[in-house]
Amino acid sequence: MSKPGLYLDGVSVVFDGFRALNNLSLVVDPGELRAIIGPNGAGKTTMMDVITGKTRPTAGTVRFGDRDLTRMDEARIANLGIGRKFQKPTVFDALTVFENLELALKAPRDPLSCLRWALGSAARQRINGVMEETGLAARAGDPAAILSHGQRQWLEIGMLLMQDPDLLLVDEPVAGMTDQETEHTAALLRRIAGTRSVVVVEHDLEFVRALGGKVTVLHEGTLLSEGSIDTVQNDPRVIEVYLGR
Amino acid sequence: MAVPARGGIPARTILRGALIGAIAILALLPVLNQLPAESALRVSDFTVAVTGKWICYGVLALAIDLAWGYAGILSLGHGAFFALGGYAMGMHLMRLIGPRGVYGHPVLPDFMVFLGYRELPWYWLGFDHFPYAILMAMVVPGLLAFVVGLLSFRSRITGVYFSIITQAMTYALMLAFFRNDMGFGGNNGFTDFKELLGVPLNTQGARAGLFYAALALLAASLLLCRYVVGTKLGRVLVAVRDAENRVRFLGYSVTSFKLAVFVLSAVLAGLAGALYVPLVGIINPGEFAPGNSIEAVIWVAVGGRGTLVGAILGAFSVNALKTWLTSFAPDLWLFVLGGLFVAVTLLLPHGLMGLFRKVAK
């Protein structure tokens, strides 16, 4: 495989004495679709923050292929091919749907290139394709500010697709979506995985089942269980801390 | 909002017409100034001089709006870039006085003779050339903006903290320029200029020429800013303004984008200052006063931030109000200015341009 995998080795994050992550080790293979579940405060979002450079780990290493991510800032990590969708959808309200996707489109990121940027037909086609995929084609010219919550989710997923990343980190993608939209999202993520790695943080276990990949359960910042959805659902430790409640 | 008024084709047409009309009227002022004194249409020297000053303020407002309205960088120190550009031009004008000073020294300006300078300080060399002075009017503010911007943006200093740093910057420069041993004329600054590009400054022709130069700078700056905000660079700036962190996760280096727009903005402010000085005939450290920078930000807020044209409109209308009010009640001005800012913030968050768009709909 030429695509890089993701390796977390003994990662700890301590905030004022609180261990948000505690010696967490995790490997996501290239092309894998991985779901991360766990109760609130298990460290799911902190893990995403560490991978994307928002938070520096107190100890441990994070590698993407042979690149050490712990020394890079957010922009460099993003340019290595790691895209992130946030739990609370964050899009650019003053820009239109089309412009949001255009900004996310993989292209040179320096100011001078942006000044000279001309939207070619290939780029336009890609943006139109993603708008079809995410059901936003009719909203192309609308500012993101007036989209519904579900549409903002789709727009952010669309922006992730535009970046053409090798690793997608997706935080609670189906919150605020209808059942039908949830199914569509699961299908989309399954299709994306295979050519690239996808890590999904989600509370909705039906959705996690629909994804069909390996599941990692986090608890108190450390790895509690790992395996298929049936394996972890039957793991007594998991039942105790998470599912049984 | 970066997006033009939605579905407002008539509003845009009206706006464009008004803009062209305004520029045409401005361009006519020096012509009307040539009319005989008894003509009803004659415009006084004072009107031409004051309007020329406002045009320079318009460029400064445009520069602030580019950084604040689009990239969300609220600089409360743009008066410093304006003043530095003004000092660069002032140095050129001082060199052009030559032996016509009170002391008649062939090279040294009067204040240097008075302070006992033997020769020109090294940083005055080259200012006898006009292109060099114009270059410095851009390079010095641009370099200062680069250094202050790099240190701040790299450390992710944003919002009010950045505003405070820029206030401190202009205040520190004011104190420095007040000192006689800085070699910039201390608290008197520079004045008593004689000529520019071979034309005596006290002639109607020179005033008209400077007026048109300022108008050309304003038009060119407006076109440049409109071009920049219309590119993908402009859209990245808007994204930085609204969700800076999100932009980073898309792989854009927020620092370099902020730095680019802040430096461009400082260069425009410097050029505005360079044209302002020959128009008003004086530059002194008072131009660095922190209040000046705040006043310029109020122009932009009154006109409507993030609209470019609004910034110019704000600069003109607030200064018109100031000129009118200070002619009979100068003590009231600061209260009116403060009240204006509060009123606009509370009642007209999109300024005069927002009001115009609402009315047009």
Pair B285, B191: CB distance under 8 Å: no
More confident residue, B354 or B361: B354
Q: What distance in Å separates the CA atoms of residue A44 and residue A171, rounded to the nearest whole number? A: 9
Q: What is the pLDDT, as a whole number, of residue B30? A: 86
Q: What distance in Å separates the CA atoms of residue A76 and residue A64, rounded to the nearest whole number? A: 12
Concatenated DSSP letters for B218-231? HHHHHHHHHHHHHS
The answer as to whether A184 is a domain residue is yes
Residues (pLDDT < 50) of chain A are 1
CB pairs under 8 A between A and B: 83
Pair A203, A42: CB distance under 8 Å: no
Write out chain A residues lying below 8 Å of B236, CB-based.
103, 111, 114
Residue B7 has pLDDT above 60, yes or no: no
CB contact (8 A) between residue A90 and residue B246: yes
Number of Cβ atoms within 10 Å of the Cβ of B219: 16
Residue B123 has pLDDT above 70, yes or no: yes
The answer as to whether A1 is a domain residue is no
Alpha helices in chain A (DSSP H): 44-52, 74-79, 97-104, 111-116, 121-133, 149-163, 179-192, 205-211, 229-234, 236-238
The number of folded domains in chain A is 1
Smallest Cα distance from A198 to chain B, Å = 16
Across the interface, of A79, A93, A114, the residue whose CB is closest to B236 is A114
Pair B80, B283: CB distance under 8 Å: no
Q: What distance in Å separates the CA atoms of residue A76 and residue A241, rounded to the nearest whole number? A: 37
Pair B169, B77: CB distance under 8 Å: yes
More confident residue, B296 or B18: B296
Across the interface, of A52, A90, A109, the residue whose CB is closest to B252 is A109
Q: At B343, is the secondary structure helix, strand, or coil?
A: helix
Dihedral sign of CA atoms B122, B124, B130, B132 in order: positive
CB contact (8 A) between residue A111 and residue B248: no
Note the pTM of the prediction, 2 decimals. 0.92
Q: What is the mean pLDDT of chain B?
A: 92
Number of Cβ atoms within 10 Å of the Cβ of B160: 10
pLDDT tens-digit readout, A186-245: 988 998 888 899 999 988 888 999 998 899 999 988 998 899 998 988 888 888 886 555
Residue B10 has pLDDT above 80, yes or no: no
Q: What is the pLDDT, as a whole number, of residue A35? A: 93
Concatenated DSSP letters for A156-167? HHHHHHHH--SE
Pair A154, A91: CB distance under 8 Å: no
CB contact (8 A) between residue B232 and residue A102: yes
Structure token pair of residue A134: 């995410």
What is the chain A residue with the closest CA to B259?
A111
Letter for the amino acid at B345?
T
Query: Is residue B170 classed exposed, middle or buried when 0-12, 13-18 and 19+ CB atoms within 10 A define those classes?
Result: buried
Residue B13 has pLDDT above 90, yes or no: no
Q: What distance in Å separates the CA atoms of residue A21 and residue A18, rounded to the nearest whole number? A: 9
The strand ranges marked E within B134-271 are: 190-191, 195-196, 199-200
| CATH classification of the domain holding A174 | 3.40.50.300
Write out chain A residues lying below 8 Å of B1, CB-based.
94, 143
Smallest Cα distance from B192 to chain A, Å = 43
pLDDT tens-digit readout, B168-198: 999 999 999 999 888 999 999 999 999 899 8
Q: What is the pLDDT, as a whole number, of residue B55? A: 96
Structure token pair of residue A89: 């959808």
Q: C-alpha distances in angstroms, A103 versus A62, B73, B287?
A: 27, 20, 40
Query: Any CB–CB contact under 8 A between A50 and chain B?
Result: no
In our burial notation (b when 16+ CB lie closer than 10 A, e otherwise), range B315-349 reads bbbbbeebeeeeeeeeeeeeeebeebbeebeeebe
What is the chain A residue with the closest CA to B242?
A92
Q: What is the ipTM of this complex?
A: 0.89
Interface test with B, best of A56, A80, A103, A169 (most B CBs within 10 A): A103
Local structure of residue B76 (DSSP, 8 states): S
Residue B350 has pLDDT above 60, yes or no: yes
Residue B50 has pLDDT above 60, yes or no: yes
Q: What is the pLDDT, as a whole number, of residue B316? A: 95
In our burial notation (b when 16+ CB lie closer than 10 A, e otherwise), range B103-139 reads eeeeebbbbbeeeebeebeeebeebbeeebbbebbbb
Interface test with B, best of A90, A101, A114, A169 (most B CBs within 10 A): A114
CB contact (8 A) between residue B251 and residue A109: yes
CB contact (8 A) between residue A99 and residue B256: no
The answer as to whether A165 is a domain residue is yes
Local structure of residue B4 (DSSP, 8 states): P
Residue B94 has pLDDT above 50, yes or no: yes
Pair A101, B245: CB distance under 8 Å: no
Pair B65, B218: CB distance under 8 Å: no
Pair B81, B145: CB distance under 8 Å: yes
Domain interval for residue A204: 6-243
